[in-house]
Amino acid sequence: MRSRLEDDLDSCRPLILFLGDERDDEDHDVLFPKIRESGVSVVRVHPIDLMISLKPSGPRFTVDGRPVRPKLVVGWVLDELLWPGMIQLDVFERAGIPVINDTMTLFRTANKLLDSSQLNTGGLLRYPVLSGYDRTALDPGFAPDGTTVVKPLRGFGGRGIERLESTSDYEMFRRMDTSLDSAYYAMPWVENPGRDIRVYTVNHHPVFAMYRYAPPGSWITNVTAGGRIAMCPLTAELSDLASRASRAANTLIGGVDIGEDVETGGYVIYEVNSCPTCEPPVLEMVADFLTEAVTDYEAARATWEPSHVYTTLDRDPKLFHPSKRHLIQPAD
């Protein structure tokens, strides 16, 4: 049993079902008690534990032989859980149960090409992208200064990302075997101050942002790749950009990765994430949004706004999870 069923499934309280696993346990330790404080039940079901039976009256869901009747489902499936989770989320959606983030949102944001394609449609992609299988199609002329960043189509956490600079980098890249798993995504290198900005959005409203600093000798800023963190006040420009990116990607809970291009002085959006590991200020807002959405989904979508947006500098380490406080970058 890999699910987290701490709530009484038979209670008459409305139930939120998180479809996911233990990878964001630290978030759930903060989020689930907050949700329960509002009189709402919440369980986390691992896709492997969920049984679905189709009846003429509609689908029935059980976990460990016990019926579950969620009023709202939260899709938190990534990596190897994405495909099994998407299938189950699609059944929930067809049963008329609202799903945040829904099947296609998760599918699209988990793929670098589709993520950028949505940003492009939203007028938010500020660099060229090349994606496909043919490695000979990428040459140094692709990027204005000859430096290209290549990424696996389905990566996250900074995994598998490489920078091609020299002729031999490009030659090595071309020599790799082609298979159905080897599709790549290429974009020009963005000259940046050694950090990027992660903006968290809830119902498309930015709520909190943090800088992520690349560790010494690296340029990949993801926390899982050793990045350090610091609170970043949300300016009007950042908020506007993140809100538009979140709408383009349809992420009702999202994390937008934004770079500061020191050559143009402007921002670039690297990607929108749909299952972002969050921090306590974000979880507070997520709990508030979800407890409203479980009662009246349409009304919450139309009217919910964060009660607090972090627009001014706040150096309180409690803005971050205890496990990440040692990663806080000291003030300059």
Q: Interface with Mg ion by CB under 5 A: which residues?
A: 257
Nearer to ligand ADP, 221 or 291 (CB): 221
Does the protein bind ligand ADP through residue 158 (CB under 6 A)?
Answer: yes
The Cα–Cα gap between 116 and 96 comes to 30
Continuous H helices in 214-255: 236-249
Distance, in Å, from the CA atom of 156 to the CA atom of 185, rounded to the nearest integer, reads: 13
Stretch that binds ligand ADP, among 72-80, 95-103, 158-166, 312-320 (CB under 6 A): 158-166
Euclidean distance between CA atoms 73 and 89, whole angstroms:
8
Phi-psi region of 75 (alpha: psi -120 to 50; beta: other; left: phi over 0): beta
In angstroms, rounded to a whole number, what is the distance separating the alpha carbons of residues 325 and 242? 25
> Any contact of residue 62 with ligand ADP (CB under 6 A)?
no
- The candidate with the shortest Cα–Cα distance to 199, out of 162, 155, 244, is 244
Which member of 61, 76, 92, 156 binds ligand ADP (CB under 6 A)?
Answer: 156
Q: Which one of ligand ADP, Mg ion, none is in contact with 297 (Cβ closer than 5 to 8 A by kind)?
A: none
Residue 107 interacts with ligand ADP (CB under 6 A): yes or no: no
CA distances for 151 relative to 3, 33, 164, 186, angstroms = 32, 37, 11, 6
Minimum separation from the CB atom of position 161 to Mg ion (A): 9
Please give the Cα distance from 21 to 6 (Å, whole number). 14
Tell which one of 7, 24, 26, 257 touches ligand ADP (CB under 6 A).
257
**Under a CB-based contact definition with an 8 Å cutoff, are residues 152 and 184 in contact?**
yes
Out of 21, 27, 196, 284, the only residue in the binding site for ligand ADP (CB under 6 A) is: 196
Position among 102, 260, 271, 284 found at the interface with ligand ADP (CB under 6 A): 271
Output DSSP code: residue 159.
Answer: T
Residue 21 vs 257, nearer CB to Mg ion: 257
192 binds ligand ADP per the rule CB under 6 A: yes
Q: Which is nearer to ligand ADP, 59 or 132 (CB)?
A: 132
Q: For the window 172-191, what string marks contact with ligand ADP as x by the rule CB under 6 A?
A: ---------------x-xx-
Of all helices (H) and strands (E), which one includes residue 29?
A: helix 25-37
Per CB under 6 A, does 255 bind ligand ADP?
no
- Tell me the residue number closest to Mg ion, measured at CB: 257
Q: How far is the CB of 108 from ligand ADP (least distance, A)?
A: 13
The 3-state DSSP class for residue 126 equals coil
How far from 279 is each of 169, 209, 222, 319, CA to CA, in Å? Answer: 37, 10, 14, 7
User: What track of x and - describes contact with ligand ADP for positions 218 through 237 (by CB under 6 A)?
Assistant: -xxxx---------------
Q: Report the nearest approach of ligand ADP to the CB of residue 145 (Å).
A: 11
Name the burial class of residue 155, with classes exposed (0-12), middle (13-18) and buried (19+) by CB atoms within 10 angstroms of its CB: middle
Residue 292 interaction partner, one of ligand ADP, Mg ion, none, beta carbon < 5-8 Å per kind? none
Tell me how many residues contact ligand ADP (CB under 6 A).
21
Q: Which residues bind ligand ADP (CB under 6 A)?
A: 149, 151, 155-159, 161, 187, 189-190, 192, 196, 219-222, 257, 259, 270-271
